[in-house]
Structure 1
Amino acid sequence: MAKLSLGVDIGGTNLRVGVVQARKVIHEQRVPADFSSICKQHAPAIALQEILRISLSALQQAIRLYPGIGAVGMGFPGFIDPQTGYVMQSPNLPGLRNVDIAGELSRLVGLPVKMENDALVAALGEFMLLDAAPHSMVYIGLGTGVGGGLIHAARPYPGDHGIAMEVGHMITEPGGRQCGCGNHGCLEQYAAAPGVIASYALATGEALSALDVAERAAQGDAAALEAYAVAGLHLGKAIAHIAKILDPQLVLIGGGMSQAWPYFAPALHAQLEQDSIPVLKGKIDIKVSGSSDQAGIIGAAHLVQG
């Protein structure tokens, strides 16, 4: 029987834990955890302790239910040092710098814990769940931020410094909106959930949730549809440039925001067609994830399955 591993998917506003056997999630729990707000409202040391406390509680609960768990894999929204496993920085969890979250949790739960960037982990999980694995795949995760992951020759590629495929921080609007990474005009300021919220607020003066904006788009609200069109335009720009550099067989769109695909897909495809070089026009296969949002858990667990 395949060993049990624990896959942990940490986002800016949620924590998901899953017990994984081979490629199947046999138990899943979701914990509301607004880590982004915690990091913005507290000093880094206090925020770190709160992240550890919430994460530890969720891990211990799963381990009590499944004592056969042998190791924990984690996806975390930030730049992960490939040598030490430390979180070097997290633009959407401000204040965290050079912290050993994996090491601390390993000490507290008494199990090996391995951490990798959340989007790269999700890319790995998505790749594992495909019926026909492509030779190369780019994953773009849309949520609180915009993450990216590259799978090449069936292996995830983190880069020499742990920064590969930070597509959310590609500048698609020079001199544009301020980003948590310190630059202006990054993709995630337009295509992530807060970016769509900001676009809608600029047009209407209303501060709604991303879910409310999506509901208004479904009702035909012009400003909501335009907010998603802006997101699609910026995604189209980014994918066109990624394709010129990596020439992937497949680009897979996932994350919570991917559920709004019908609202931003037309603008994405139009901008992609405009910005692609002629030899790539019509050759970039773009699909939306069908993993039921479990790819991050499965990919994280696979980090420690050997």
Structure 2
Amino acid sequence: MTTEAAGAGALLTILRDGRARTRAELMQLTGLARSTVSQRLDALSDQRWIIPSNDAISSGGRPAVAFAFNAGARIVLAADLGATHARLAVTDLATQVLAEHSADVPITDGPEKVLGWLVDAFHRLLDESGHTLDQVCGAGIGLPGPVEHQTGLPVNPPIMPGWDGFDVPGWLGRRLGVPILVDNDVNIMALGEHWAASPEIEHLLFVKVATGIGSGIITEHRLHRGAQGAAGDIGHIRVTTSDIVCRCGNTGCLEAVASGAALAALLRAAGEDAANSRDVVALVRAGNARAVQLVRQAGRDIGEVLAALVNFFNPGGIIIGGDMADAGEYLLAGVREVVYSRSLPLATQHLSIRVRQLDDRAGVIGASVLVIEHILSPGVIDEAVAAHA
């Protein structure tokens, strides 16, 4: 690390790995003079980004003070808004959940009603966690549709009437008074699973199978969004020549034949009581033969798309999330059957395919990570330190 690069933000990045370090260790890592390291540590301490560690390090003389990242310096608001369900959380800067809440909130109610509910719910969670809004460093929001990365605006979201082009960051920012970061819900789930459950996998595909189907892509431990933020929208890849019409207007899309909504519709047509993905899973768990058959075939259809992606992207792991992940091996068996038989042997040599580990929390953890990685980036920290100098 060069002297020019090692600002206060760079020192904080070093300390964020969870290990306490002394001034001497930081001097060795950065090449900075002791006075410069001390000055930058003082600036970070003044804003409570770091605190003295309880573990003093002694080499025979007076113990040297070690400094550690303070995960409680600020708190984060996180929300994962799905098609019909919302989960919210307040976390610290290590994604530790301090308070959380979930509720059935139809995204079709429109932006002002849904976001108004969100603001009220955030205030209740802050009260519950014993924190105030002035301790919040930002809010991360996941939406169930395409989001333009640079602006945070939803763009032609097929299941979100009234949301197209709505200024979600601006609307929430004016009411909460904190930075607002918005992304697609599958992207934040991918971030959450990678951060908390699979940090060792450098290249990862997270596939959400619920009302719709989408994927989040992690490459070299970073979220890949593409040019505008549309990367990973696998639900609209054509997998059949049938005339089944997708909500996007095309026919034969993966989402139209293998999503929870599509399977629920087929089960209703067969006389079963299935309104959504969760009902499909409940029928599978109850041993309903038709539901089991449909879920296994859905796994094969999803596997057909994933086999092509495995050959193209060569991920180290595929994680299946969303409500349909609760069908477990019935869905995974179909996915694995096709992926392992139709992908190149080298690409599948060490490939793991499993269901999510964070259950419904992946989205809010990922939304929190979205904020944390932005707020604690070296440039933003350096600006904050300079502003308080």
TM-score normalized with structure 1 length = 0.90
> Aligned match of 2:118 in 55, 68, 72?
55
Larger Rg: 2
Please tell me whether residue 27 in structure 1 is matched to residue 93 in structure 2: no
Q: What's 1:14 paired with?
A: 85
Q: What's 2:221 paired with?
A: 154
Please tell me whether residue 94 in structure 1 is matched to residue 161 in structure 2: yes
Deviation at 1:131, TM superposition (A): 5.2
Deviation at 1:246, TM superposition (A): 0.7
User: Is contact 1:190-1:230 (8 Å) kept?
Assistant: no
Deviation at 1:160, TM superposition (A): 0.6
Work out the CA distance in 2 between the residues paired with 1:216 and 1:298.
Answer: 29
Deviation at 1:96, TM superposition (A): 2.5
RMSD: 1.9
> Aligned match of 1:260 in 299, 322, 327?
327
Q: What's 2:231 paired with?
A: 164
* Runs of 5+ consecutive residues of structure 2 not aligned to the other structure: 1-69, 377-389
User: Is contact 1:63-1:69 (8 Å) kept?
Assistant: no
User: Is contact 2:281-2:326 (8 Å) kept?
Assistant: no
Over 3 Å counting, the alpha-carbon distance change for 1:174 and 1:282 in structure 2 is farther
Q: What's 2:47 paired with?
A: none
Over 3 Å counting, the alpha-carbon distance change for 1:199 and 1:283 in structure 2 is farther
TM-score normalized with structure 2 length = 0.72
User: Is contact 1:176-1:186 (8 Å) kept?
Assistant: no
**250-259 or 268-277: bigger deviation:** 268-277
> Aligned match of 1:206 in 272, 278, 283?
272
Please tell me whether residue 216 in structure 1 is matched to residue 283 in structure 2: yes
Deviation at 1:137, TM superposition (A): 0.5
Please tell me whether residue 145 in structure 1 is matched to residue 212 in structure 2: yes
Q: Counterparts in 2 of 1:98-113, with a 5 A limit?
A: 98-113=165-180
What SS does the aligned partner of 2:138 have? strand
Please tell me whether residue 116 in structure 1 is matched to residue 179 in structure 2: no
Q: What's 2:75 paired with?
A: 4
> Aligned match of 2:139 in 50, 54, 72?
72
Identity %: 29
Work out the CA distance in 2 between the residues paired with 1:54 and 1:18.
Answer: 14
User: Which structure would you say has the larger RCO, counting Cα contacts within 8 Å and 6 or more residues apart?
Assistant: 1
How many positions carry a matched residue from both structures? Answer: 296
Q: Counterparts in 2 of 1:120-135, with a 5 A limit?
A: 120-130=187-197, 132-135=199-202
**3-12 or 215-224: bigger deviation:** 215-224
Please tell me whether residue 177 in structure 1 is matched to residue 244 in structure 2: yes
Q: What's 1:286 paired with?
A: 353
**187-196 or 248-257: bigger deviation:** 187-196
User: Is contact 2:285-2:327 (8 Å) kept?
Assistant: no
Work out the CA distance in 1 between the residues paired with 2:159 and 2:136.
Answer: 30
User: Is contact 1:72-1:111 (8 Å) kept?
Assistant: yes
What SS does the aligned partner of 1:116 have? strand
1:105-150 alpha-carbon deviations (Å, 9 max, x no partner): 1111211111011101110110001255111111101222112111
User: Is contact 2:201-2:316 (8 Å) kept?
Assistant: yes
Deviation at 1:100, TM superposition (A): 1.0
User: Is contact 1:60-1:109 (8 Å) kept?
Assistant: no
Deviation at 1:218, TM superposition (A): 2.5
Work out the CA distance in 1 between the residues paired with 2:219 and 2:206.
Answer: 11
Work out the CA distance in 2 between the residues paired with 1:131 and 1:244.
Answer: 21
> Aligned match of 1:246 in 291, 313, 321?
313
Work out the CA distance in 2 between the residues paired with 1:286 and 1:81.
Answer: 29
Work out the CA distance in 1 between the residues paired with 2:182 and 2:299.
Answer: 31
Deviation at 1:183, TM superposition (A): 1.7
What SS does the aligned partner of 2:231 have? coil
Over 3 Å counting, the alpha-carbon distance change for 1:217 and 1:57 in structure 2 is same
Q: Which amino acid aligns with 2:126?
A: I
1:191-246 alpha-carbon deviations (Å, 9 max, x no partner): 322122023234x1435133333333233322111121221111111110111221
**68-77 or 274-283: bigger deviation:** 274-283
Q: What's 2:54 paired with?
A: none
Work out the CA distance in 2 between the residues paired with 1:174 and 1:108.
Answer: 48
Q: Which amino acid aligns with 1:9?
A: D
Work out the CA distance in 2 between the residues paired with 1:194 and 1:93.
Answer: 15
User: Is contact 2:147-2:184 (8 Å) kept?
Assistant: yes
Q: Which amino acid aligns with 1:4?
A: I
